[in-house]
Amino acid sequence: MAREDGAAVNARDRLVSPVDEPDEKQLESALRPANLDEFVGQKRVRQQLSLVLEASRLRGRSADHVLLSGPPGLGKTTLAMIIAEEMGAPLRISSGPAIQHAGDLAAILSSLTEGEVLFLDEIHRMSRPAEEMLYMAMEDFRVDIVVGKGAGATSIPLDLPPFTLVGATTRAGLLPGPLRDRFGFTGHLEFYSVEELELVLRRSAGLMDLAMTAEGFAEVASRSRGTPRIANRLLRRVRDWALVHGIDRIDARTSSAALDMYEVDARGLDRLDRSVLEALVTKFGGGPVGLSTLAIAVGEETETVETVAEPYLVREGLLGRTPRGRIAMAAAWDHLGLAVPEHAAFQDPGLRAAFGAAASPSADEDAPPLFED
């Protein structure tokens, strides 16, 4: 299996990380909904997927191949399990990084039974030879096994039983066109609203036999960054805090005190997020500042700042990415309780027009930042 990069490992160290942790998989499984009726949020995807599955049942055939995309922690794995449950079919689970050779994929495909659901997480990280084998398997339910090497190599066709492939990806843009086109249904999962997260938390609290007020649910939901996985993780930490302090019914005050202790503030920012904002505002006057300079200022790797902290800060309108570097937005000063300076970088018309133009690390090189790397 491919080794995880440093940013992924660092993400797991954060309470508000959407990346799943190995030791919480069993806890997550106990909270997963078993069918589409129990699944909260993603209304449009649920409706469309329900139609696809019902039509497949009426035809008496395997469901079309399904591609689920979106940020981590929103329910892609849960939906794959629900698809298998709704179709009354067994589920086989693997991942893109685990399939580095065509032979790895051939071994999985050749052992599938008719109607089985194959779930491939992070499908965009699968090797190219395996991708090319998957094309034929998805379209014709057949693979060609190459035996031997060189001039004596022969190709043996192997018929496969009809199956349903469910692919999940956090970066749909990295999937090649021919692979995307072979999926009969594509669903993109969006971040949850606070109200939807409250419903998720109510269901989880019921399964955990946890007494909690409406205000308590709202407090946890507002700090969960629009992600059910984070919401459930914060709920468990609040439960632990209440248990240690002898509190039987959790209210907003209890939830707030517990999450404050874990350094998750009212907007869902943790220590790393606040460190990035404070450095940008207090040390560099709001920017523009290059990514590597900003990373050095907070004592983190460049990749960690870019892939772990920045996405949420940008989504919340606290940080902007421009061709000249990272800049603090007005909301960043407000969140830190500081006055916005008259000549803040985000008020520059040229930079304001360039918001979002820097989508890659190399964008910092387009023009020199005020603070050189």
User: Which stretch of DSSP H or E encloses residue 351?
Assistant: helix 349-353
4 domain-assigned: no
Residues marked as binding for ATP? 31-32, 73, 76-78, 139-141, 182, 192, 229
Give the span between the Cα atoms of 172 and 15, in whole angstroms: 26
283 domain-assigned: yes
What's the CATH code of the domain at 128? 3.40.50.300
Residues marked as binding for DNA? 321, 326
- The verdict on 147 and 169 lying in the same domain is yes
3-state SS class at 337? coil
Give the type of residue at 42. Q
Structure tokens that stand for 277 in this block: 């904002």
- The verdict on 174 and 66 lying in the same domain is yes
Among 165, 188, 211, the domain boundary falls at: 188
Residues marked as binding? 31-32, 73, 76-78, 139-141, 182, 192, 229, 321, 326
pLDDT-derived band at 346 (thresholds 50, 70, 90) equals low
pLDDT tens, residue by residue, 188-233 = 999 999 999 999 999 999 999 999 999 999 999 999 999 999 999 9
pLDDT-derived band at 23 (thresholds 50, 70, 90) equals low
pLDDT tens, residue by residue, 40-71 = 889 999 999 999 999 998 988 888 999 999 88
Q: For residue 293, what are the contacts with CB-CB under 8 A and spacing of at least 6? A: 284, 369, 371, 372, 373
pLDDT tens, residue by residue, 132-191 = 888 888 888 888 777 666 666 677 778 889 999 999 998 888 888 888 888 999 999 999
What does residue 235 show for φ and ψ, rounded to 5 degrees? -60, -40
pLDDT tens, residue by residue, 82-101 = 999 998 999 999 998 998 88
Residues marked as binding for Mg(2+)? 77
What's the CATH code of the domain at 295? 1.10.10.10
What count of other Cβ atoms lies within 10 Å of the Cβ of residue 213?
15
Identify the DSSP state of 250: B
Report how far Cα 339 is from the mean position of its chain's Cα atoms.
Answer: 34
Query: Within 13 A of 281's CA, how many CA atoms are on the CB side?
Result: 22
- The verdict on 128 and 223 lying in the same domain is no
Q: What is the pTM of this model?
A: 0.81
Is 80 exceeded by the pLDDT of residue 348?
no
- The verdict on 138 and 242 lying in the same domain is no
Give the span between the Cα atoms of 245 and 264, in whole angstroms: 19
Q: Please, which contacts does 46-53 make with residues 24 or more away whose CB atoms are closer than 8 Å? A: 48/185, 48/187, 49/79, 49/83, 49/185, 49/187, 52/184, 52/185, 53/83, 53/86, 53/87
Among 188, 220, 243, the domain boundary falls at: 188
Query: Within 13 A of 51's CA, how many CA atoms are on the CB side?
Result: 9
- The verdict on 170 and 120 lying in the same domain is yes
For the chain, what is the domain count? 3
Structure tokens that stand for 18 in this block: 């959407």
Angle between helices 102-110 and 128-140 (to 10 degrees): 30
What's the CATH code of the domain at 228? 1.10.8.60
- The verdict on 207 and 147 lying in the same domain is no
Catalytic amino acids? Answer: 76-77, 121, 170, 229
- The verdict on 216 and 78 lying in the same domain is no
6 domain-assigned: no
Give the span between the Cα atoms of 106 and 236, in whole angstroms: 41
pLDDT-derived band at 360 (thresholds 50, 70, 90) equals very low
Residue 91: give the domain boundaries: 26-188
- The verdict on 210 and 245 lying in the same domain is yes
Angle between helices 214-222 and 228-244 (to 10 degrees): 130
357 domain-assigned: no
367 domain-assigned: no
Is 70 exceeded by the pLDDT of residue 266?
yes
Among 233, 262, 291, the domain boundary falls at: 262
18 domain-assigned: no
Mean of the per-residue pLDDT values for the chain?
Answer: 83
